[in-house]
Amino acid sequence: METHPPLAGPFAIGTFSAGNGPAFPGLVTGDRVLDLRTVPALGAPDPTTRLTTRVLLERWDTALPLLHDAAGSVEGTWLPLAELRVHAPVEPRQILQSGANYRTHVIDLAVAHEPADGRPAEQVRAEVAAMMDRRAAEDRPYVFIGLPSSVTGPYDDVVIPAWCAKPDWELELAAVIGRPAFRVPAEHALEHVAAYTIANDLTARELVFRRDMPEIGTDWLRAKNAPTFTPLGPYLVPSAFVADPGDLRVTLRLNGEAMQDESTKDMIFDVARLVSYVSQTVELFPGDLVLTGSPAGNGMHWGRLLRPGDVMEGTITGLGVQRNRCVAEPPPMTGPSSVTGPSSVTGPSPREA
């Protein structure tokens, strides 16, 4: 795999820091990053407001032409990308996540886990495919809520909690909201998507279903929201540069071996339908994420779950690459100053792109 696969379009934006300095929004093109704080035209409208990628998204219609101008200018402070730390590209207010949205993935799960009752696998496969056709016709995606506190950077370590027995990967295309969206029709939904990025929606498989409360169903809070369980980025690639979000290659490699490798063509509900569906209930704000589901090939499919020392590399056509090493949660401190529970997990160690 290429170390730096090409980005769609002439530039992308992200969040960076140099040394121990504060994080700042930057425009990346090639191997250089423009510190957007040094571009006067992009300054925050309120001088007391710190410029961030989310501030840019809040005025995306005016910011995008200015970003085009800045990308072709020699003005401002340009820095070598290799000397910067790359953070998650945006701090979302809300994360909406689609489940069971790739046909092949859902069919594989059904064949593997549904009782066949004497039916051959091909019959089960055909029945599940027909069920998904009904879902698509009825316009009923399955969407749940994620927490922003699970987000980590595209090159940061993923901390596997001590209690997590079955950590798994799920690489996904994420749509990043620009214009606020509330009850928008599908035919206008993409007008509210400012950019796309990569998300890895890690899951503790053993916690998805509550054995003590089977009538409740899934427990996504515990299964998906541990700190560092949503590596995000590396960058926000403007939607204007992505010709067709329904025709992108989603690939995850584990220790160099391809585990997921599928096209977004396999989605049951495309980006526009997902954004529209979510907006019928939830008001979406600039910087919010709509994750679009994960294709076939997660760890449960392969019988190979994540372990400390594993390295995940995720790419989506034109959106760059994220690379995360898995580490074990450090043992809790002992003594009167010790803190136990999730808050004792140390933050990800700085890692350069």
Closest to 96 measured CA to CA, from 235, 220, 250: 220
Which residues on neighbouring strands pair with residue 218, listed in sequence order? 209
What tokens appear for 106 in the block?
A: 């859902």
Instruction: Name every residue whose Cβ is closer than 8 Å to that of residue 243 and which is 6 or more positions away in sequence.
Output: 8
Instruction: Name every residue whose Cβ is closer than 8 Å to that of residue 205 and which is 6 or more positions away in sequence.
Output: 166, 167, 168, 223, 299, 300, 305
- How far out from the chain centre does Cα 315 lie? 11
Closest to 58 measured CA to CA, from 178, 143, 223: 178
pLDDT of residue 71: 96
Max Cα distance, the chain (Å): 70
Distance, in Å, from the CA atom of 244 to the CA atom of 247, rounded to the nearest integer, reads 6
* CATH class (in words) of the domain with range 95-344: alpha beta
pLDDT of residue 115: 57
Can you give the pTM of this predicted structure? 0.89
Decide if 29 contacts 8 (C-beta within 8 A): no
Kindly report the number of other CB atoms within 10 A of residue 217's CB atom.
10
Distance, in Å, from the CA atom of 182 to the CA atom of 275, rounded to the nearest integer, reads 9
pLDDT of residue 311: 99
Closest to 328 measured CA to CA, from 127, 98, 162: 162
In one letter, which amino acid is 87? Answer: H
pLDDT of residue 124: 81
| Predicted confidence pLDDT, tens digits, the chain (353 residues) | 345 788 999 999 999 999 999 999 999 999 999 999 999 999 867 777 899 999 999 999 999 999 999 999 989 999 999 999 999 999 999 999 999 899 888 887 777 665 567 788 788 888 888 888 888 888 789 999 999 999 999 999 999 999 999 999 999 999 999 999 999 999 999 999 999 999 999 999 887 877 787 777 787 888 899 999 999 999 999 999 999 999 999 999 999 999 999 999 999 999 999 999 999 999 999 999 999 999 999 998 899 999 999 999 999 999 999 999 999 999 887 765 544 443 333 333 333 33
- How far out from the chain centre does Cα 282 lie? 19
pLDDT of residue 77: 96
pLDDT of residue 132: 82
Decide if 149 contacts 225 (C-beta within 8 A): yes
Which residues on neighbouring strands pair with residue 262, listed in sequence order? 250
In one letter, which amino acid is 344? Answer: S
pLDDT of residue 223: 82
Query: Domains of the chain: which residue ranges?
Result: 12-87, 95-344
Distance, in Å, from the CA atom of 90 to the CA atom of 107, rounded to the nearest integer, reads 33
Distance, in Å, from the CA atom of 12 to the CA atom of 208, rounded to the nearest integer, reads 35
Q: What is the 3-state secondary structure (H, E, C) of the chain?
A: CCCCCCCCCCCEEEEEECCCCCCEEEEEECCEEEEHHHCHHHCCCCCCCCCCHHHHHHCHHHHHHHHHHHHCCCCCEEEEHHHCEEECCCCCCCEEEEECCEHHHHHHHHHHHCCCCCCCHHHHHHHHHHHHHHHHHHCCCEEEEECHHHEECCCCCEEECCCCCCEECCEEEEEEECCCECCCCHHHHHHHEEEEEEEECCEEHHHCECCCCCCCCECHHHHHCCCCCEEECCCEEEHHHCCCCCCCEEEEEECCEEEEEEEHHHECCCHHHHHHHHHCCCCECCCCEEECCCCCCCHHHHCCCCCCCCEEEEEECCCCEEEEEEEECCCCCCCCCCCCCHHHCCCCCCCEC
pLDDT of residue 126: 87
pLDDT of residue 339: 43
pLDDT of residue 175: 99
Distance, in Å, from the CA atom of 334 to the CA atom of 326, rounded to the nearest integer, reads 24
